[in-house]
Amino acid sequence: MKAFIIQTKRFILSKMTDGDQEKYYALSCNENVMKFVTGHALTRKESDEMYEDFLYENRSKNYMGRYFIEDRLNGDLIGAVKLDKIGNEIEIGYRIQEEHWGKGIATEIATDLISFAHQKLKAKNIIAFVNVKNAASIRVLEKAGMENIATINDIDEIKYKFSYFTPKDTGVKKIVSATLEFISDGLKGIKEVLDR
């Protein structure tokens, strides 16, 4: 498999490959890092099983998949990211090692992923999902230029859907916002009827 690499100003993002299970466990064994991913730190067995799923996803011969984030200068593991295609949207995601929190790295990575998806992948819409209780990650997405466009009741969590709009997308943004507001009002009306 061709190793896909994304280079940013300060980091190298390399697609996860077999043999790096230990590296992934260093990230997934942290309770705080995994709080909004699985709800708990992973055991080595759980981590390896999750990593196998990522390797399966990474078989695609394109940029979609899971990556490690490493410091360009010293090779330190900073975290992990994902690029996923959902319909005609590109989803970005990230996880940063706890010792690197509060340094602006998550915002930098999110901004770099948005730029990469927009310029290299020609994505028309870039999205991200975040648990409604994950205030730090919500701030990161907002600082990266994304906007909350929907609240989603998932199987085991409530999350926000964020979207990135380029300046020329303001007309589209207004249409999307109006449509979501219309749907929300309609659902409230249905709920009121059912609650009677």
73-99 tens-digit pLDDT:
999 999 999 999 999 999 999 999 999
Per-residue confidence (pLDDT) for residue 1, from 0 to 100: 42
102-148 tens-digit pLDDT:
999 999 999 999 999 999 999 989 999 999 999 999 999 999 999 99
For residue 154, what are the CA distances in angstroms to 22, 38, 67, 159? 30, 14, 25, 7
- Is 93 strand, coil or helix? strand
Per-residue confidence (pLDDT) for residue 181, from 0 to 100: 63
Same domain, yes or no: 143 and 188: no
- Write down how long the chain is: 196
Residue 170: pLDDT above 60? no
Give exposure, 86-101, as e/b (b: 16+ Cβ within 10 Å).
Answer: eeeebbbbbbbbeebe
Per-residue confidence (pLDDT) for residue 182, from 0 to 100: 61
Beta bridge partners of 92: 83
Q: What is the pTM of this model?
A: 0.81
Taking each continuous run of H as one helix and of E as one strand, the counts in the chain are 6, 8
196 pLDDT tier (thresholds 50, 70, 90): low
Same domain, yes or no: 115 and 179: no
Per-residue confidence (pLDDT) for residue 168, from 0 to 100: 59
Same domain, yes or no: 181 and 144: no
Same domain, yes or no: 103 and 136: yes
Number of domains the chain is built from: 2
Rounded to whole angstroms, how far apart are CA atoms 48 and 24? Answer: 8
Same domain, yes or no: 194 and 144: no
Same domain, yes or no: 125 and 195: no
What CATH number is attached to the domain comprising 109?
3.40.630.30
Range of the domain at 87: 5-164
